[in-house]
Amino acid sequence: MPQKSALSCDTSTHKHFDRWPRWSGNPSEFSTFLLSVEGFSEDERIRASIGDEKAFCYGIFTYCLPSDAQKRVAPIIKDNKKSNEWDATLFIQHLEELFTDRDEASKAQLALNTIRQGPRRPFAKVRAVFGQLCSEADNLAPTNASKISLIKSALVPSLRKGIVYRSNISMTSYDLFVMEIQDLANELESLPDFRLVRGSASEFYVHKNFTYNQQHVTPLRDSNQASEFSSGSLPNMGSSQTSYTKLDQDGDLEMGDINVLKSQVQSLVAALSNCNINNNLNNRKIEHPPYPPKCSQSERNHRVARGCCEGYGKNPSHCWSDCSSRNFKINPTARGQGGRDRYLSTLLCL
C-alpha cells in the first residue's frame, strides 16, 4: 500500500468533491485555470461541497496542480499547516504570484507584429487569432488605425490588393474594416484558385527568434515561403526542453539574413583576391621575354653605333620597352646607356 505524502490531507473528514479543474503546467493555460478556481471559490454551493478553507486549499494542491507546481507550492502549505491559518483567497493570490506569466503581454505584442496569414488560411480564422492576441497583449495591444495597419500587414497579397481596389473600406474603425475585409475574403475564398494554391493552411510568424504558444500555429513546410518555420522552431512555452538563442560571431543576437549576407560577401571577396593573386603570378611568368643571344661587348657597341637593336641587330632600333627580349643576362647594359646618341657622344669625348 503506497505511503501518503507528508503534505497529503486527511480528506475523510471532508465531503468528497471530484470536479476540480486541472492545470497541465502550461503557462499560457494558467489564466484560464485561475478563473475556474476563483469561480469555485465564489460559488457557495461548490464551497459547501468541498468543505472549509483548509479542505479547499488542500484540494487545489492535491487535485489541480501538476507535480512540478506542487513542489513550488509546498512551502506555502507547510507554513499554513504550521500556523494552522487557512485562507482560500490568500492561497489563490499566492498561486497567481507564482505562476502568472509576466511576459504574456509582451509576447502577444511580438506575435501581433509577426503574424502572417497562410495562403490557404481563411481570413475568419486569422481574424480570431489576431483578436485573441490583442486580448492577451492587454495595454500593449494596438488600437484603431495602428490595429488596422497590423492586420493589413498579416494578410495575403490577394487580400491586400483587393483593399487597394476598394476605396470605400474604412481605415479608421477596426470593426468596420474587418467586416468589409470579411466580405472580400468570402468572395476570394470561394474561387477555385484559393483551394488549389500552395502554402500553409495556418498562420505563421516571420520573426526568426520568435517563440510563442504552439497552440496558435501549426504551419506546413512550403518552399515558396522563405520565412515560414516548422512547428519545431516554435517550441511550446510549457515544454521542459530548453531553447537556446543563436549568437553570431560577435556574440550578439543573430540578425536574420544580415550575417549570412556578410559571410557570403566575405567569401566572395576572398575568392576574388585569390584569383587575382594567381593571375598576377601567371602573368609574371608569361610576360618575361627571353634573353638575347650571347654577344661580345664590341659587337654590341658596333650595333648601337649603326643605330640597330643592341640585342638582335635589327635596323632601325627601338626603345627598350618595345624590344622582344630582355636585357643581357651577362654584363647587362645599364638603362639609358644603350642609346646611339649617348654612345656617339662618349666616342667623341675620347
**What string of pLDDT tens digits covers the 350 residues of the chain?**
444 444 544 444 445 677 888 888 887 788 888 888 888 888 888 888 888 888 889 888 888 898 888 898 898 888 888 888 888 889 988 888 888 777 777 888 888 888 888 888 899 999 999 988 888 888 888 888 889 988 998 898 888 888 888 878 888 899 999 999 999 889 888 888 777 777 677 777 776 444 444 444 443 444 444 344 333 334 444 443 434 444 454 444 445 556 666 777 777 777 777 766 656 555 555 566 777 777 888 888 888 888 788 777 777 777 766 777 777 766 777 765 555 555 544 444 44
- Collapsed DSSP state (helix, strand, coil) of residue 205: strand
In whole angstroms, what is the distance from residue 259 CA to residue 255 CA? Answer: 6
Q: Cα angle at 66 between 234 and 63, to 5 degrees? A: 140
Strand partners, 115: 205
Contact (Cβ atoms closer than 8 angstroms) between residue 55 and residue 16:
no
List all residues 6 or more positions away from 91 whose beta carbon is below 8 Å from its beta carbon. Answer: 56, 57, 60, 76, 80
Backbone angles phi, psi at 278, to 5 degrees: -65, -40
Do the Cβ atoms of 163 and 181 come closer than 8 Å? yes
pLDDT, position 278: 58
Give the model's pLDDT for residue 158. Answer: 86
pLDDT value of residue 286 = 52
For 213, list phi and psi in degrees, rounded to 5. Answer: -55, 130
The dihedral built from the CA positions of residue 115, 116, 120 and 126, taken in this order, carries a sign that is positive
Q: What is the pLDDT of residue 209?
A: 47
3-state helix, strand, coil in the chain (%, to 5): 55, 0, 45
Number of H helices, E strands in the chain: 14, 2
Predicted TM-score of the model (pTM)? 0.41
* CA pair distance 169, 212, nearest whole angstrom: 32
Q: What is the pLDDT of residue 339?
A: 53
- Cis amide prior to 235 (ω within 30 degrees): no
Give pLDDT, residue 205: 73
Q: Which of 3, 5, 14 is nearest to 50 (CA)?
A: 14
Q: Closest by alpha carbon to 122, among 153, 150, 159?
A: 159
Residue with cell 632600333: 317
Distance CA 154, CA 117 (A): 6
Q: Check if the beta carbon of residue 30 is closer than 8 Å to that of residue 38.
A: no
